[in-house]
Amino acid sequence: MKAVSLIALAAAGLLAACSGAGTSDADGDGKVSLGEAAKQAEAQGVKPQPGLYKTTVTMTALDIPGMPPEMKDHGAGLVRTIEDCLTAEEVEKGFEAMVKQGQDGECAYENFVLADGKLDAVLVCKAEGRAIRTSMAGTTTSTGADLTATTAMEFDGAGKGTMTATIKHERIGECPAK
């Protein structure tokens, strides 16, 4: 998984941390755009805290059609950790800009429900001619998220496969001085 994808998932969790319960399909098209989710979050008057964040993604399952049995769950336990600074300027640009940062395709929530800090969402992104569908569930706050994400996508020549990972996104301090 690309580091950009990790940041996008973590940003989606952070966006969810700051929005109200329910869905926000304002235009009634059956999906919740990033802009609609961002507007809902902004209407709540709560913003993520600027600071240094650490995102740790641990792959827990991998299923690709045609994969030899001895390769089942190959990569399970693989851990990727990145740190990224969320500046006050980025927070002021709004949630939509944060979530879209680094994405190569169009994304919208198929489902977006948050109540009492618990998230249940499905984010569908179209990139490089294919749909990538990520189901996320877990807990969120204004300084982080603990999520389980299952991503389903088409693999060239192999069919649809899935990857499941846990994501821990946490504020670990102030941004380093430049």
DSSP 97-128: HHHHTT--SEEEEEEEEEETTEEEEEEEEEET
Please, what's the b/e burial string for 51-68 (b: 16 or more CB within 10 A of its CB; e: otherwise)? bebbbbbebbebebeeee
Please tell me the predicted confidence (pLDDT) of residue 40: 59
Q: What would the pLDDT profile of 7-43 be if each residue is shown by its tens digit?
A: 445 445 444 444 334 455 666 676 776 677 666 555 5
Please tell me the predicted confidence (pLDDT) of residue 120: 84
Distance of CA 87 to the CA centre of its chain: 19
Q: What is the largest CA-CA distance in the chain?
A: 51
Q: What would the pLDDT profile of 52-92 be if each residue is shown by its tens digit?
A: 999 999 999 888 787 777 776 667 788 999 999 988 888 87
Query: Measured between alpha carbons, how far is 167 from 138 in angstroms, rounded to an integer?
Result: 9
Query: Measured between alpha carbons, how far is 110 from 125 in angstroms, rounded to an integer?
Result: 10
